[in-house]
Amino acid sequence: MKNWTRKALLLTVSAAAAAGTLAAAGAPVAHSRPAGRAAPALVWHPCGPVAGAPVPAGQECAELRVPLDHAEPGGRTVEVAVSRLRTDRPDARRGTLFVIPGGPGSSGVQRLAQKGGALRAATEGAYDLVSLDPRGVGSSVRANCRIPEADRHLVTLRSWPAPDGTITANTERSRRTAELCARNGGPVLRSFTTGNEVRDLDRLREALGERKVSIWGSSYGSYVGAVYAQLHPDRVGRLVLDSTGDPDPGRVAYGWLANMAPGAAERFPDFAAWAADPARETEGLRLARRPGDVQPLLLSLARELDRHPKASDVPSTPLTGNLLRQALQSALYSDAGFAPLARLVKAAQDPEGRPVLPPELAGPLPDADASMTVAAICNDVRWPGPASGYAGRVAADRARHPLTAGMPANITPCAFWTHGKEPRPTRITGDGPSNVLMIQSLRDPATPLAGALKMRAALGERARMVTVGQGGHGMYLGNGNACGDRVVSDFLVTGKRPARDTHCPN
């Protein structure tokens, strides 16, 4: 998910305020399950291998059966994978914390394996940590559109315009993908919605025997958490929204994608400063003498690769201009991505070099993963149709934000999508307990501050926001700083949060 806009204004209170005056989060009213409905059963067992992370000792997995259509609870059911890491301090336990991953398309089981140990330590054992693989992800129910391999690369799933800015190929590919998903995806694919993830989470809460849960949602997961709390305010204890987008119910993912263009532009100076730092000289990664020279260098290199793609370490996949642009966009999520991007640029500049493609660009996504990624952003809300002026918006966006070359404004399969029964997305409001803490980078390439400020405004007095001086995406226990981590951990452990919106500088 892990996507949106921002301007750096507001929230300039010092970091001392983050650890200073605190106000307790409100306590929601307890809720029990509807009469006559039995809680679904969970049978816990050791987790199998999890891609990308060793499984922490004690992490358990289970399968939860949920209605394919929650409006028909007696009809067909499907299975979603869930995972749990119990507290290592039972005497300190205060409840269950749902860890909601981003995407759409990220695995909660994997997220818990990656973050569970650090989260359990940061919250001092106050929670059993629980997550699930949303429908279409990991070990949960899957669906396939039967998308051709050539259309399942990241640079084709994301609609990067042709080198000359035209979108004819994007339009044809988007139409083809939407038609394949309508023909082959079936009711399972149509069930990949935010609403169903929220409903499945509530069934998980029931299965755990919890009257209420606390939540840490990241990126798209923060939107899922906000929707859950809007629909079930009495079932949420403490809610952390990490790296949040604009909750406008008329746009949702359409707006998040569009906001990635200014987000990348606002984050790029961090990379430029790093790439021009003399410290890069000894590493062989210095790209320019001055930060202001880095963007022209990258744009010129991308244009050269548009004309003359360069053979890479993957024989069937040369490094093109759009592959370089996508590599840049991905690298901006974390400072840890800067060095690999600089190495890619250096290899592309070297006449004898053979660039090593990042793993996400080295081959196509599996069909089920690509199908889920498409469906999850198209199912929630109607996108502008194919005749609504995409070419003009792409041209304007390319001129305004050359780093993203019009991709965030471009046509996608959603323009041709056939919609299911999901109603209009939930409107986030200030109705509910004051138990929300937001954490947000000032320079987020995926969910920029401007979008997060709209979520903050929608929540009103329900929320407080802490901004973080570190750039990147995903702040708590990730790309942020010690001050921001401390504010969030204190809130989850004690229920106290800053008395007003505040800032944690680097």
First CA to last CA across the chain, in angstroms? 26
| Domain membership flag for residue 48 | yes
CATH number of the domain where residue 50 is located = 3.40.50.1820
Give the number of domains in the chain. Answer: 1
Q: Are 444 and 6 in contact (CB under 8 A)?
A: yes
| Domain membership flag for residue 102 | yes
The one-letter amino acid at 153: H
Distance in angstroms (rounded) separating the CA atoms of residues 418 and 483: 46
Long-range CB pairs of 321-327 (<8 Å, 24+ gap) are 321/163, 322/155, 322/160, 322/163, 322/405, 323/155, 323/357, 323/361, 324/298, 324/348, 325/160, 325/403, 325/404, 325/405, 325/407, 326/154, 326/155, 326/158, 326/160, 326/361, 327/357, 327/358, 327/361
| Domain membership flag for residue 151 | no
| Domain membership flag for residue 414 | no
SS3 content of the chain, % helix, strand, coil (to 5): 40, 15, 45
Q: What is the pLDDT of residue 305?
A: 98
pTM: 0.91
| Domain membership flag for residue 73 | yes
Read off the tokens for 76. 């067909």
Structural domain containing residue 117? 15-142+190-252+423-504
| Domain membership flag for residue 77 | yes
Distance in angstroms (rounded) separating the CA atoms of residues 383 and 352: 45
Per-residue tens of pLDDT for the chain, all 506 residues: 433 233 332 222 233 233 333 333 333 333 445 544 666 789 999 998 887 778 888 999 999 999 999 999 999 999 999 999 999 999 999 999 999 999 899 999 999 999 999 999 999 999 999 999 999 999 999 999 999 999 999 999 999 999 999 999 999 999 999 999 999 999 999 999 999 999 999 999 999 999 999 999 999 999 999 999 999 999 999 999 999 999 999 999 999 999 999 999 999 999 999 999 999 999 999 999 999 999 999 999 999 999 999 999 999 999 999 999 999 999 999 999 999 999 999 999 999 999 999 999 999 999 999 999 999 999 999 999 999 999 999 999 999 999 999 999 999 999 999 876 667 899 999 999 999 999 999 999 999 999 999 999 999 999 999 999 999 999 999 999 999 999 999 999 999 999 999 999 99
